[in-house]
Chain A
Amino acid sequence: MQGIEIQFPGVKALDGVDFTLRRGEVHALLGENGAGKSTLIKCLTGVNKMDAGKIVLEGKEIRPTDPKNAMDLGISTVFQEINLCDNLSVAENIFIGRQPMRRGQINWKEINRRSQELLERFHIHIDVTRPLAQYSTAIQQMVSIARAVDVDAKVLILDEPTSSLDNEEVQRLFAVMRDLKKQGMGIIFITHFLDQVFEMSDRLTVLRNGHLVGVYNASEITKLELVSSMIGKDLDEIFDLKRASIKKDAPVALEADHIGAPGKVEDISFTQQKGELLGFAGLLGSGRTETAEMIFGVTRMQDGTLKIDGHTVKINEPMDAIHHKIAFCPEDRKRDGIIGDLTIRENIALALQARRGMLRPMSRKEQDDLSNKYIKMLSIATPDAEKKIRELSGGNQQKVILARWMATEPNLLILDEPTRGIDVGAKAEIQRLMLQMCEDGMSIIFISSELDEIIRCSNRIIVMCDGKKAGELNGEGCTQADIMRMIAGEKDGETA
């Protein structure tokens, strides 16, 4: 690929970017949100049309018209958001659109057998005839990768393939990637996990604001250099974060007493002081999200009691929680967060409007002021507040959702994986913002799969395992090993 240029109204998404992928290499594509990674990929796969430049594949110029066409040309993609049909079987999902035929009919036996084989290469042993929806996000992710790999691809594009996988699954994926590499496939690997970049890739291309910053050999660049080339700022500034300081006599803001929803989480007890940042660590499916959803009323709390500022409260649905000044940024941004077709302004105003009720509408001016304030405060990259939220990049969408809840001026803010799938710079921004809000007296529950950010920010950490609380740790002086030991069930250290 040489000199791809594409323009979007308002924001120039890509400007004269060159990108070369060699046969049999893993090439990491890096950059902050809105740097142009996704746009580049969309050009490659024919989702977006290029205004200028050309794509050359094995010496021939190609012009992919749509993803299917790109796939036929040999460019296969696994997009960040899982694009599968929930209610079809796993095997159907893998072979959709290219079912093997026998005598004019779909050969189901063949489909199921080949799907099984394919997934076994990933060490996944599941019943491929069952609907995909029955399996976890991680499995679904692997299925979409399996599908992309099975077509005769020359170029495989993986857009954030690891963001919903746990460590073991990541290693499985890497094994498969190494395998494919040996076969001569070129892999474009987009991720925000820098460790994985260094573990897997041969070369790196860094984009910033639609421009090419540089192409590096993975062995010749340090992590620090890489990060500063991505964000163009000094690193010290980013990682200089201080834990929120809680006053000794700060009152208890939230008290959970043996709360639970049978089948999901059970017997969770903890207290949280005003202005405290409480981290929730644990593996995928350990009950972190479910606990948060229970406090916010998305999931019905069936056992135990919840006290806010010392008073027992009953929260049956999100509206009740909002009235108790709780806010919740959900984990699945696309499903539970953004209202895609509405504008940034409407998305920001929505929660506050919901609390005020239907009959007390916010004037257009109030909405404008509110959205402009947060666009500025959170530096949301957009030409104006009237852009549809689905047209923003993931990190900016996350900021809009954050703005939606900050606008309600909550006392307790629950953030479920607020930094997932967003880059180092925005991550640091969000972390700094969290800590600032804690200093200002807000209590925050912070859920994350990334142990280092949990440790860096939290005053205390609650470790979850198998739907139960495994224990509690102090943020200060805690190491990743402590948390992992607790998850693994070794009862040393202080358990509550």
Chain B
Amino acid sequence: MKKSRESIFKNKLVLAVIAELLILVVAGILEPGFFHVEYNATTGMLYGSLVDIVNRSAEITIIAMGMTMVIALGGTDISVGALVAVSGAFALKLLRWDVTLYPTPGDYTIAPFFLVILVPLLICTAMGLFNGVLIGKFKLQPIIATLILMVAGRGIAQIATNGKQFTTGYTPYRFIGQGSLLGLPFPIIITIVICAAVMIFVRKTAFGTFVESVGVNPNASRVTGLKSDRIIIIVYTLTGFLSGVAGLIYSSRISSCDSNNAGVNYEMDAILAVVLGGTSMTGGKFSLAGTIVGSLIIRTITTLVYYFGITSESIMAFKAVIIAVVIIFQSEPVGKWLATRQARKQKAGELRG
């Protein structure tokens, strides 16, 4: 009896995994070298397209962890991309302070390293809190509330860096996005730690259930004693923090900050990752594992397209096609159709048996 429910819940996750595998198979057929993974002894790091996919999906995966719960609450957060820029800008500001005083980038930092990490994260967390208060306390529509920082965030990033693009050569900072640990690129390690932490927080406490409950029926949740505004604030604040982490990884990868281009379209990718993972935009039940797979799908497509030398301008079109297929497969009518087909087959099988 329990099977029926779990198969519905797992179905979408299974579908997402199948989709990811299919895309990988296509890649493997077209380019046999696609699955080649190599250990480079001098750098101590694994190389190959697969490692690359997981590595490069880190930013979106991390943001999408928060976005999953934002969407489960029936909301959306379109400020995450701008927060990525904010985070990078403040990190580089602290590393270089003022380019007129320290004109050449090099292996140095002006502020202590822990502040370089801490301050951007705090600022992004505060911005997430701002979103949460607007939505939870002032009951603004999420898309409107987060639009404020989507627009203002990049402006704040510009102000922090006086509109300049800083570059850094500071080794510890570059390690975040470019270093490796246990043979894995460091962003993968960060992603694993963050995903595990979020999952434990959500599923080992009652927080996940509360989020789902508020997402499905805020009125009834309130009458049942849940403080829905507080839950909303926590979720958006967490998403702000996670965007900050993603921003550090991104800016460390390019050893620089770029307020105009950092995190562009990340909100869309994060929302897509969540939806691909099987969480409904209408709120309610959510799946963090699904989101991780969703993020991998997006990155696999991107990598695939780059790998075959297709111009980056056409990437969006490719993504759109594949994502449309996956989402249509997960849609309710198709799911029902599949279910009835399966039931019919089972019935036929029973009759024969």
Contact = CB atoms under 8 A, between A and B. Distances in A.
Contact of B221 (A339, A383, A384, A386): A339
B210 A386 contact: no
A339 B227 CA distance: 15
Nearest to A388: B5
Given A298-B223, A318-B223, A338-B220, A350 B5 contact: no
Interface residues of B, number: 25
A404 B213 CA distance: 14
A429 B247 CA distance: 59
Contact of B285 (A9, A298, A330, A341): A341
Given A9-B4, A358-B205, A341 B216 contact: yes
B209 A350 contact: yes
B152 interface: no
B207 A358 contact: yes
Contact of A335 (B2, B205, B206, B220): B220
B1 A10 contact: yes
> Is chain B's interface secondary structure helix, strand, loop, or mixed overall?
helix
Nearest to A355: B225
Given A362-B206, A384-B1, A341 B284 contact: yes
A236 B1 CA distance: 37
B222 interface: yes
A346 B209 contact: yes
A489 B284 CA distance: 48
Contacts of B4: 9, 386
B223 A336 contact: yes
B220 A337 contact: yes
Interface centre among A317, A339, A351, A359 (most CB of B within 10 A): A339
Nearest to A408: B225
B223 A319 contact: no
Interface string B201-218: 000111101101100110
A383 B1 contact: yes
A404 B224 contact: yes
A354 B225 contact: yes
B216 A342 contact: yes
A45 to B, nearest CB: 18
A361 interface: yes
B219 A358 contact: no
A157 interface: no
A404 B1 CA distance: 23
Interface in B260-315: 284-285
Contacts of B216: 339-342
A116 interface: no
Contacts of A356: 206
Interface residues of A, number: 39
Interface in B171-230: 204-207, 209-210, 212-213, 216-217, 219-227
A322 interface: yes
Interface centre among B1, B2, B212 (most CB of A within 10 A): B1
Contacts of B206: 353, 356-362
A317 B1 contact: no
A328 B224 CA distance: 8
Nearest to B3: A386
A10 B204 CA distance: 31
A360 B232 CA distance: 19
Contact of A319 (B1, B219, B225): B225
A343 interface: yes
B213 to A, nearest CB: 5
Contact of B227 (A319, A338, A342, A349): A319
Interface of A: 9-10, 296, 298, 317-319, 321-322, 328, 330, 335-343, 346, 349-351, 353-362, 383-384, 386-387, 404
22 contacts: A9-B4, A10-B1, A298-B222, A298-B223, A318-B222, A335-B220, A337-B220, A338-B217, A338-B220, A339-B216, A339-B217, A340-B216, A341-B216, A342-B213, A346-B213, A353-B206, A353-B210, A354-B226, A358-B206, A361-B204, A361-B206, A386-B1
